């Protein structure tokens, strides 16, 4: 997902993206949605969150 799309999603959740880095902004979105704040933290490229909308970007 492109940064502009992520910022729009954040604004829809009443998060002010400001100058947040992509990773931090996604984690804030995850937190606000009640999910694990785990974007970019997979160890050995392993993740048990199969239905996460960030999964593809996260495991790059």
Average pLDDT for 9-16: 96
Given a contact cutoff of 8 angstroms between Cβ atoms, the answer to whether 9 and 29 are in contact is yes
Q: How many CB atoms lie within 10 A of CB 28?
A: 18
Domain with 7 in it: 3-58
pLDDT band at 60 (very low <50, low <70, confident <90, very high): confident
Residue with tokens 């009640």: 34
What span, in angstroms and rounded, lies between the C-alpha atoms of 45 and 41?
9
What span, in angstroms and rounded, lies between the C-alpha atoms of 9 and 26?
9
Counting the structural domains of the chain, the total is: 1
What span, in angstroms and rounded, lies between the C-alpha atoms of 38 and 12?
20
pTM, 2 dp:
0.89
């Amino acid at each position: 997902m492109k940064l502009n799309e992520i910022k729009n999603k954040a604004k829809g959740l009443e998060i002010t993206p400001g100058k947040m880095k992509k990773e931090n902004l996604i984690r804030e979105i995850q937190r606000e949605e009640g999910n694990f704040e785990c974007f970019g933290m997979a160890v050995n490229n392993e993740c048990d969150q199969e239905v996460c909308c960030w999964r593809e970007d996260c495991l790059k």
